Amino acid sequence: MEGSREELQELKAWLFRENIRLEAAAKELKQMQEQFLKEKIQFQEEMKLLNRKAAGERQRLKEDNQFFEKKMEILQNGFRQLDLDRRRLDKEWARLTAEKDLLEEHGFYGTHAEVSVFFQGVRNPLALKKRYKDLIKIFHPDNVAGDKEVIQRINKEYERLKEHYEKEFKHA
């Protein structure tokens, strides 16, 4: 019986140690569950924050895309308008070239036709003289905008108009 008493003592000691070990394991498991729960809550909060940031970024991306689409539309409209303007100018250039060719063919271009534009609106000798002086200041060959050929044409037109006004005012 003594062997069984010793065995029983050993068994009681083993049960006691096992009970302590199980309580320690249960305590550790409970701590792990609490830690897991805290981490789960923290993870959920982080996920909510990331989802809000992602939603904000999606909204910003959508707004950027809309802004880009508007800018693209403005650019496309601008290019369309430029193309229309270019076509209109090409037609106008062709018309003016044809008109110039016609004038040259009939001997009108290169005489006083283009220079007479400078003297448009001049109705008397005083206005003619003032306009002539202004034109000389602008187109004198020593100036940046100066041109010897233009000055010669202006001089010819001035002399022609001056003679015209002298005849007109002598008869009046």
What pTM did the predictor assign? 0.38
pLDDT beyond 50 at 112: no
Q: What is the torsion angle, in degrees rounded to the nearest 10, for the CA atoms of residue 106, residue 107, residue 111 and residue 116? A: -10
Give the pLDDT confidence score for residue 111 in this predicted structure.
45
Per residue in 29-71, pLDDT (tens digit) is: 999 999 999 999 999 999 999 999 999 999 999 999 999 999 9
135: Cβ contacts below 8 Å, ≥ 6 apart: 118, 154
pLDDT beyond 60 at 110: no
Give the pLDDT confidence score for residue 67 in this predicted structure.
94
The C-alpha atoms of residue 45 and residue 40 are separated, in whole angstroms, by 9
pLDDT beyond 60 at 134: yes
Per residue in 94-106, pLDDT (tens digit) is: 776 776 666 556 5
